[in-house]
Amino acid sequence: MTGNNHHPQLNAATAPPPPPQVHPSRRLPDFLLSVNLKYVKLGYHYLISNLFTLLLIPLMFIIIIEATQTNPNDIKQLWIHLQYNLVSIIIFSTVLVFGSTVYFMTRKRPVFLVDYSCYKAPDNLKVPFKTFVEHSRQMDGFLETSLEFQKKILERSGLGDDTYAPEAMHFIPPKPSMQAAREEAEMVMFGALDNLFANTGLKPKDIGILVVNCSLFNPTPSLSAMIVNKYKLRGNVLSFNLGGMGCSAGVIAVDLAKDLLQVHRNTYAVVVSTENITQNWYFGNRKSMLIPNCLFRVGGAAVLLSNKWGDKRRAKYKLVHVVRTHRGADDKSFRCVYQEQDDEGNTGVSLSKDLMAIAGMSLKTNITTLGPLVLPFSEQLLFFASLVFKKVFSKKNIKTYIPDFKLAFDHFCIHAGGRAVIDELEKNLQLSPLHVEASRMTLHRFGNTSSSSIWYELAYIEAKGRVRRGNNVWQIAFGSGFKCNSAVWQALRNVKPSANTPWEDCIDKYPVPVVS
């Protein structure tokens, strides 16, 4: 009888030899292999980054040995020779002093970030999902398909129930007007500035430069003029109002203030970044124009910059680099975030389906410029080698090496434009969940606050007590046009959160899980 348990017998002469047995203690687990590779890469980076120092040490030993064996009479003859060449010494000293003076007079002055403040709206302006959906359903003009679309966007957006909408949008029907928009602007800008002045002790009369950016609301007189009038700034203040520049305008405003601080010495610059929602809510049914309704919320920030050496002791950060990328020459990039009217005459901002691809190209251009400024030489070498290999061997299917920006930056403030934006950068830059935590939690707690979102994120990192002296912070933002802008800051001390931060009463609740 032949059963399932019957096996034919193998001839001992023809049977294959048994596999070699490896003692369990000698096997290398996968996680240990990955750890070993990690340390190999760290060792490589350390070797390349410190190559000059490692080569310099034996050279110094050789010089010291040679110096100890030098005849004292040779040194005495050199001194006598110099005594009879006073003219040469005087000329050399004059050139040295003159050159040093020119260098110190013309070199770029450091720009310090003394402090900043993010606005937190009152609780009565909170707009939970349920309230948003109910109010939208009671508004005239929305089709059922539009209501369902907004509901789905909200569920996947990464926003929580504690974000804020302007007061005009809490009425049924909504009451958007020029006056209501002015009131929203005043509430946000003055709220952030009042807190900044209280925390820093700055007097409004000390402000020499004022830069305000708001993309969609540009009244006459300007928003910057509203601030000048409110705080009675001095008559010769240099005020600027940036409009229509999208969510990356906060970095542009910092860059403008930085350039002005290089020209006007011993002064303060205040940057105010905000967006206005009251008159920019979309009441139509085009899906590409409904998305901003679901993402944008009330918020703003005020930043105090200084070029005074005396402020270095109390400043939080020093501005290291600003890199700006503009792809407006390309038609698709230019129109991917576009304010227009739909067929019924409703005004809104349309988001193209190509937005993420265009953002990716803009990011690539931006980090190509930023990389050589911040990355260690070891990473630049690997990146260059991959490009050469790809070019020489014509291997189009080989991916270009993506530099490890985690070696250059300790903290990442990625514009909280939406969950898809954060996901894409986390993937492309190979970041860990901890690196994008500030961006995700800012989106969850405050929504997309446009150009000010990168400051809410930095405030989150500070509230968690993660910023140490010498840490580098990368703020990166995207905006209409299409633009990708980066700002790099270096912490001057172990940074503690300032008083009345927007995270003060809720930081212990975060991070929270976000529905994917």
**Catalytic site residues?**
247, 326, 411, 415, 444, 448
- The phi, psi pair for 412, rounded to 5°, reads -125, 125
Q: For residues 105 and 179, what is the distance between their CA atoms, to the nearest angstrom?
A: 49
Q: 167 with 176: CB under 8 angstroms?
A: no
Q: 40 with 378: CB under 8 angstroms?
A: no
Q: For residues 284 and 143, what is the distance between their CA atoms, to the nearest angstrom?
A: 9
Q: For residues 308 and 202, what is the distance between their CA atoms, to the nearest angstrom?
A: 13
Query: Rounded to 5 degrees, what angle do the CA atoms 398, 401, 405 make?
Result: 160
Token pair for residue 209?
């430069």
Q: How many helices (H) and strands (E) does the chain have?
A: 16, 11
Q: What burial letters (b/e) apply to 360-376, b meaning 16+ CB within 10 Å?
A: ebbbeebbeebbeebbb
Q: What does the H/E/C string look like for 228-250?
A: HHHHCCCCCCEEEEECCCHHHHH
Q: 405 with 375: CB under 8 angstroms?
A: yes
- The phi, psi pair for 242, rounded to 5°, reads -100, 125
Q: Which residues pair with 296 in a beta bridge?
A: 448
Which residues 6+ apart lie within 8 Å of 318 measured at CB? Answer: 110, 111, 112, 113, 312, 489, 490, 492
3-state secondary structure of 458: helix
Q: For residues 292 and 46, what is the distance between their CA atoms, to the nearest angstrom?
A: 45
Strands (E) in 214-353, as ranges, are: 238-242, 268-274, 300-306, 317-326, 337-341, 347-351
69, amino acid identity: Q
3-state secondary structure of 35: helix
DSSP 8-state symbol, 86: H
Token pair for residue 438?
């500030």
Q: 436 with 453: CB under 8 angstroms?
A: no
